[in-house]
Homo-oligomer: A and B are copies of this chain.
Amino acid sequence: MQEQHPAHSLAFLEDAEHGLRVPVTEIALDDSPNGQPNAPLRVYRTAGPGSDPVVGLPAYRASWIAERDDTEAYEGRERNLLDDGRSAVRRGAASAEWKGAKPVPRRAKDGRRVTQMHYARQGVITPEMRYVALRESCDVELVRSEVAAGRAIIPNNINHPESEPMIIGKAFLVKINANIGNSAVTSSIAEEVDKLQWATKWGADTVMDLSTGDDIHTTREWIIRNSPVPIGTVPIYQALEKVNGDASKLTWEIFRDTVIEQCEQGVDYMTIHAGVLLRYVPLTANRVTGIVSRGGSIMAGWCLAHHEENFLYTHFDELCEIFAQYDVAFSLGDGLRPGSTADANDAAQFAELDTLAELTKRAWTYDVQVMVEGPGHIPFHLVRENVERQQELCDGAPFYTLGPLVTDVAPGYDHITSAIGATEIARYGTAMLCYVTPKEHLGLPNKDDVKTGVITYKIAAHSADLAKGHPGAHERDDALSKARFEFRWKDQFSLSLDPATAEAFHDETLPAEPAKTAHFCSMCGPKFCSMRISQDIRNEFGSKEAQEAIVEVTEGMKQKSAEFLAQGGKVYLPETISVGSPE
């Protein structure tokens, strides 16, 4: 796995007592000009140990799961070519078949629940919780109590032992998700695995595979086996493929079968659009943009075609029973989210939220972990209400929002329009932000778009951490600012979220290597740099003595200024104004 920068290296936070090591990225720093050394900075790392795509990652958590002795291996659901789509059936095989070791699926022993929430509620502290506490530099009891209360989730399916545990909840660092996945019109399995590794390299905390094209099952297998972060999906997409894209042909049985298929593969959380109730659908008929969630529109179509209630709602308890066997977390989908600022915070959106709150509490009775999805497109002044309402109705269950975009007028720049709303909604308690790329509304993101989306959302998430006063969040800002003030250009680059881009931009104006240590920046040129002047001021006048001297000198001036204030505006009358001479 190539490092992001020569000054970056892999280091570990150690919990020797429990034999845990959490990888972090260590950023080496130069000494200050005055000779003072600068301690290396350690930052949160999502890239994982790196893997050969055709081999996959080691089963990092396998022993933890085994030691709990509450799961059993079993012969998984029978292979079904249709899982890979109609073309796979035609070919009699999926293309790019997964060649790596295929783990035997596990599930809970009869009557057991194997969710982190279940353990937390029993007062059990799991290795996953200790790992998370080390990673977040917080007390493990905070992790346990937040998970027990449903205010945080640790998504890790027992069939995805390759993942490094992470936590999603407002008491912890704000997380970001990157969406990848092919569609009927484009892209290959290799590309998707490449996007996965690219996204986690730049800082994606979770990745959702939204594939809707060919080889859906096999693409997911490649992704999960190579993913150090939790993987989320929207099973209805695959289920729809199994009925040839005809929403009206969907059945609970087909959907359940698809969910179990994905549970056995190791999907860590699934978006379930169980809040789209038949009676809510008419509330969207007169919107500017109707229903824009794919899952939401599929279920709305089904409800209306059958004039029956959403089968995801009527079978929700069975879903809870299944999820409890694998520790799959719900991501309760907001199928009726607004698709334009005009439709924000309307009756349809909030009616669904009421139902998502009901379902959250129902899932908790099964000890199943839950997060709730949020919009979407919301004007800036209405953003805050979304998270505060969700937190109140859902008793603090983690909120997971897409943006929101605060204007609709900038397709091509929606990573920016949405990062503005994302920072605002995260500031008030949203736990995870789903990234938006520059291609949103226009096309499928390529590798560059994925990077731009991830970096933009790291900015939003980190800015929200700063605004929340999250412990230690400011350390990277302060280290970079100090490097900037001291003209340690290389440190400025290596401390930035995207060192290569920062350095490339610098070099466009001042290519020469010496310039990287020069005491001026290209904005002002050699002899005209505010930071240099400012540094001279500090050197020359920063001492206590000098400061006292200045204050002395200025005593008289305060007088004068006081007079100015007193006279302010009274001295000069219009008729007495004389024209200053140009000479």
Q: Which of A361, A411, A439, A498 has the largest number of chain B CB atoms within 10 A? A: A411
Q: Which of B364, B497, B538 contacts A413 (CB 8 A)?
A: B497
Give 1 or 0 for each of A450-486: 1 = CB within 8 Å of chain B CB: 0000011011101110111100001011101110110
Given A300-B534, A417-B459, A481-B341, A550 contacting B281 (CB threshold 8 A)? yes
Choose one: B290, B408, B480; the contact of A534 (CB below 8 Å).
Answer: B290
Q: Given the known A-B contacts A281-B550, A455-B410, A572-B365, are A522 and B444 also in contact in the complex, defined by CB atoms under 8 Å?
A: yes
With the chains together, A301 CA to B531 CA distance in Å?
A: 12
Please tell me if A366 contacts chain B, counting CB pairs below 8 Å: yes
CB A104 to nearest CB in B, in angstroms, measures 13
Across the interface, which residues of B come within 8 angstroms of A361, CB to CB?
A: 568-569
Encode contact with B along A518-557: 1 for CB under 8 Å, 0 otherwise: 0001111111111101111110111000110011011001
Chain B residues, Cβ within 8 Å of A278: 550, 553-554, 557
Q: Mark A341-383, 1 if CB is under 8 A from B, else 0.
A: 1100000000000000010011011100000000001011100
Q: Does A167 contact B (CB under 8 A)?
A: no
- From the candidates B107, B111, B364, B458, name the one contacting A577 in the complex (CB within 8 A): B111
Distance in angstroms between the alpha carbons of A538 and B300 in the assembled complex: 11
Instruction: Please report which residues of chain A, range 153-180, place their CB below 8 angstroms from some CB of chain B when the two chains form the complex.
Output: none
In the complex, chain A residues 322-342 whose Cβ is within 8 Å of any chain B Cβ:
322, 324-325, 339-342
Q: Determine, out of A12-20, A92-100, A222-230, A419-427, the stretch whose residues face the partner at the interface.
A: A419-427
Q: Does A304 contact B (CB under 8 A)?
A: yes
Q: Which of A185-202 contact B (CB under 8 A)?
A: 185-186
Q: Is A38 an interface residue (CB 8 A)?
A: no
Contact with B along A290-321 (1 / 0, CB 8 A): 11111011101100100101000100011001
- Contacts A278-B550, A502-B442 given; indicate if A291 touches B477 (C-beta within 8 A): no
Q: Residue of B at shortest CB range from A113? A: B574
- Bits for A274-290, please: 1 = Cβ < 8 Å to B, else 0: 00011101101110111
- How far, in whole Å, are A508 and B186 apart by their CA atoms in the complex? 11
Give the contact-size bracket for chain A. Answer: 35 or more
Chain B contacts for A36, CB-based, 8 A: none
Q: A307: shortest Cβ distance to chain B, in Å? A: 5
Stretch at the interface among A45-53, A386-394, A559-567: A559-567
Knowing A467-B379, A537-B301 are in contact, say whether A481-B339 is a contact too (CB < 8 A): yes
Distance of A484 Cα from B342 Cα, bound (Å): 13
Separation of A486 and B506 alpha carbons in the complex (Å): 44
Chain B nearest CB, measured from A246 CB (Å): 9
Q: Give Cα A467 to B380, complex, Å.
A: 5
Residues of B within 8 A of A313 (CB): 561
Given contacts A366-B577, A477-B409, contact A582 B443 (CB under 8 A): no
> What chain B residues lie within 8 Å of A536 (beta carbons)?
301
* Binary interface encoding of chain A residues 478-510 relative to chain B, with 1 for a CB under 8 A from any of its CBs, else 0: 101110110000001101111001101110111
Would B260 and A582 count as touching, CB distance under 8 A? yes
Query: B478 touching A523 by the CB < 8 A rule?
Result: no
The answer to whether A289 and B481 have CB atoms under 8 Å apart is yes
Given the interface pairs A185-B525, A531-B292, the reply to whether A547 lies near B285 with Cβ below 8 Å is: yes
Nearest neighbor of A464 in chain B, beta-carbon distance: B380
Given A294-B529, A380-B423, A442-B502; 5 other pairs, CB 8 A cutoff: A297-B530, A304-B550, A341-B474, A361-B569, A409-B495
- Can you give 27 contacting A-B residue pairs, CB < 8 Å? A76-B582, A183-B525, A184-B528, A260-B582, A278-B550, A281-B550, A285-B538, A285-B541, A288-B481, A297-B531, A300-B537, A307-B550, A309-B561, A340-B481, A342-B478, A362-B568, A365-B569, A380-B424, A381-B427, A407-B466, A408-B484, A409-B477, A410-B459, A413-B459, A420-B420, A441-B521, A442-B505
